[in-house]
Amino acid sequence: MALRYAILGILTARPMSGYEIAKYFEDPMGFVWSAPQSQIYPELHRMEKDGLIEAEVVKRGSRATKRRYSVTGSGEDALRRWLADPAPAPPERDAFRLRTVYMDMVPIDVARKHFEVHLEYYERRAEQWRERAASFRERRSELLIERLRHTPADRHTAVVAFKALAFDGQAARADVEVAWAREALALIDELEAPAG
Amino acid sequence: MALRYAILGILTARPMSGYEIAKYFEDPMGFVWSAPQSQIYPELHRMEKDGLIEAEVVKRGSRATKRRYSVTGSGEDALRRWLADPAPAPPERDAFRLRTVYMDMVPIDVARKHFEVHLEYYERRAEQWRERAASFRERRSELLIERLRHTPADRHTAVVAFKALAFDGQAARADVEVAWAREALALIDELEAPAG
DNA sequence: GTAGTCATGTAAGAGGTTACATGATTAG
DNA sequence: CTAATCATGTAACCTCTTACATGACTAC
């Protein structure tokens, strides 16, 4: 269900084609939710059928067209309802933590490599997310600017703050992964060190 | 695929019935992977068919029986291969972060309630995960004790350390959620405060 | 006896992944 | 003309969720 609301969310900034939405989700930095193209188009059809969005057929070039989707009143209501609805925390399911539990079963250099990759991945991620949070705080995000254009000025602070907050959370989580991977590498060095 | 290896992992501690495995996964604290009963039994059948585990039919009471599964050599090989195999980080998909992005669209008290629940949930979680990590370090975990019984003594340190490390990581992540929720609550107070 | 636990399953459906398939438009 | 991008889809498959279904065993 979340995909549907993620789509509604970005469409409240401005109308977009399925392709643009897909771009937004594919870019690992674009969002806090990800989805492949193959999931977007069928979902858009279902959402249109359910009256949450409506499409305007727009010409591009001479022969081709595209469908520009916008959120309906019913769509915005559905989004607000979903946002207000208390949802239970998702079940824990982290494959890398699971691997870590049994990491003693692999050669120690393989284990080290795993954590090195983890470390580097989340270092980059933390940086990217922090940049995202900054781009909201400083109102550099293009989509944010478009959103603010049709938002009452007294709401701007809240709109900006919650978006930045969400990415702060992502960055903080990435920082934890970095620190944890360093702990893991220190542990591995210790395990390898001659007993003394 | 991870479910399969989670099952192989616990079965390397000692043979178990599907029911015991399901208990282990259902208990939110039991593991870093969760799965309902309805997923366990079919997976056990597939794993048996694939030769990763084998069942011994054990009597219980006078009429009933249960199937006690243990890992085969091929199963242990598969687990080791999965553990060594480098896996890409999973796509980002966090419904609560997604809600946070649009949290300005709900009444501020609803938003506050969301973060209060989040805070309390992860406070409890952090505590439980830390207790888990400690139960490994202090070798109080029953399953760990059984595992160490058939593990060469010189491997014990590594076996224990990686398990504790995995739960340290979970605890650290929970701590981040707690700190982040506090930030969110502070932000909400600020947004509500009269401008001055 | 009866409630709680032990034990094993099935079925429908939602959500997500990977791969395939096609064609127009635009920038160089 | 050619490569990259814009644009829209389908199909097979796997994973996970929710709900249903059944019955034996054990402690009270």
CA–CA separation, A101 vs B166, rounded Å? 6
| Pairing of the two strands B16-17 and A53-59 | unpaired
Q: Is residue B78 within 8 Å of B8, Cβ to Cβ?
A: yes
| Cβ <8 Å between A102 and B83 | yes
The pTM (predicted TM-score) of the whole model is 0.96
pLDDT at residue B180 is higher than 60: yes
What's residue A50's pLDDT? 97
Query: Is any Cβ of chain B less than 8 angstroms from the Cβ of A114?
Result: yes
Question: Per residue in A39-81, pLDDT tens?
Answer: 999 999 999 999 999 999 999 999 999 999 999 999 999 999 9
Give CA–CA dist B78/A38, Å, rounded: 31
Res B81: pLDDT? 98
Q: What is the mean pLDDT of residues B115-119?
A: 98
What's the rounded mean pLDDT across residues B17-26?
Answer: 95
What's the rounded Cα separation, in Å, for the pair B97 and A170? 8
In degrees and rounded to multiples of 5, residue B78 shows phi and psi of -60, -40
User: Mean pLDDT throughout B176-184?
Assistant: 98
Instruction: Please say whether the dihedral angle defined by the alpha carbons of residues A60, A65, A69 and A70, taken in this order, is positive or negative.
Output: positive
Beta strands in chain B (DSSP E): 16-17, 53-59, 65-71
User: Which pLDDT score, from 0 to 100, does residue B196 have?
Assistant: 53
Token code pair at residue A144: 């944010």
**Nucleotide nearest B39 (Cα, C1'):** D16
**What whole-number distance in Å separates Cα of residue A51 and Cα of residue B32?**
39
pLDDT of residue A28: 64
Q: Which of B28, B98, B180 lies at the smallest CB-CB distance from A32?
A: B98
Q: How many CB atoms lie within 10 A of CB B80?
A: 17
Tokens representing B103 are 């949290």
Question: Using H for helix, E for strand and C for coil, what is the string for B55-86?
Answer: EEEEECCCCCEEEEEEECHHHHHHHHHHHHCC
Among chain B residues, CA nearest to A110? B84
Question: What mean pLDDT is predicted for residues A11-17?
Answer: 98
Rounded to 5 degrees, what are φ and ψ at B103?
A: -65, -20
